[in-house]
Amino acid sequence: MSWNDWIVLIRLFAPSLKTAAALSLAGSMVGLFVLLRGEALMALALPQVVAIGAAIALRYELEGWKSFPPPIAVALAALVYFVLAKRRGIGAWVLPSFYVAGMCLSFLLIANKGQEVSRMQTLFTGIDVAVTDERALVVPPILLLVAIVCAGLWRRWLLIAQAPAAAELAGLNPRRWDALFLLLLTITTLLGTDSLGIVMVLSMLFLPPATVLPWAQRIPIALVVSGILSLIFLAAGFVLSNQMNWPLSQTIGGVGFVALVISHVLAHVLA
């Protein structure tokens, strides 16, 4: 492909690429602490829960910004329920239930509606060119704000995850800070899933930070490298998907997984 062809493609994908870049940064920042805090199952369950809200919007034929209230309501309800369940010590079985419910109810809500079922399947497998110019103006700034807040509060996330008793002695309220972190995770998964699909969200949440962690000496450096890697995965996935005619989200996930394997092998060999 010539440079002119790439320029045309970039312009065509511009809204999606802007949103994906913002999701890459937010996802890699939040995802690093998801892994450190041992909350990977929460990150897996939330996009499925968001899909229930998306299915409700599809069933009632809500378009544009009108399609946002159902996913927001469902995601916030799930977040509140999980926080309460975690306080009661039953969060371990709530999350798998959320995951299964999201996968099943999202399709049952739109059963026998051919076009909506197809759109729901697209939400799960990835949406390559689906971000409007209007959404690209609103969603990326919110995701970038999430990335900044998450990175700026890294000491608190780490302290609460590793030494909650020390956090309480320091005057912090671990439950409130846990709720704030889960809110940041919910915003990332909500906006990412609704705009680009579940595959893209999970790829950015897990693969960049998991690639960095074997080499991480300090959290700030790990955050920066994880963010850079997420953008590299996006750029490499975009190029390969157009060269090979592959789906974008899956290509990004494939690139990220190969990088993860190489990183872990090298870390083991050089240890």
CATH code of the domain in which 71 resides: 1.10.3470.10
104-118, 140-154, 254-268: range with lowest mean pLDDT: 104-118
Task: Domain of residue 242: give its range.
Answer: 3-270
Q: Using CA atoms, how far apart are residues 121 and 112, in angstroms rounded to an integer? A: 14
Of residues 206 and 116, the one with the higher pLDDT is 206
What's the whole-number mean pLDDT along residues 134-148?
94
Q: Say what percent of the chain tops pLDDT 90.
A: 38
CB burial class (10 A; 0-12, 13-18, 19+) of residue 5? Answer: exposed
Q: How many domains does the chain have?
A: 1
Residue 234: its pLDDT value, please?
96
What is the model's pTM? 0.88
Q: Using CA atoms, how far apart are residues 26 and 192, in angstroms rounded to an integer? A: 10
What's the whole-number mean pLDDT along residues 55-68?
78
Would the pLDDT of 126 be above 80?
Answer: no
| Contact in structure between 204 and 27 (CB atoms under 8 Å) | yes
What's the whole-number mean pLDDT along residues 246-271?
93
List CB contacts of 209: < 8 A, sequence separation 6 or more: 28, 31, 32, 34, 35, 222, 226
Q: Which amino acid, residue 7? A: I
Would the pLDDT of 67 be above 70?
Answer: yes
Q: Give the CA dihedral 115, 68, 200, 233, nearest 10 degrees.
A: 130
Q: Using CA atoms, how far apart are residues 71 and 162, in angstroms rounded to an integer? A: 32
* Length in residues, the chain: 271
Helix 91-108 / helix 69-87 crossing angle, nearest 10 deg: 160
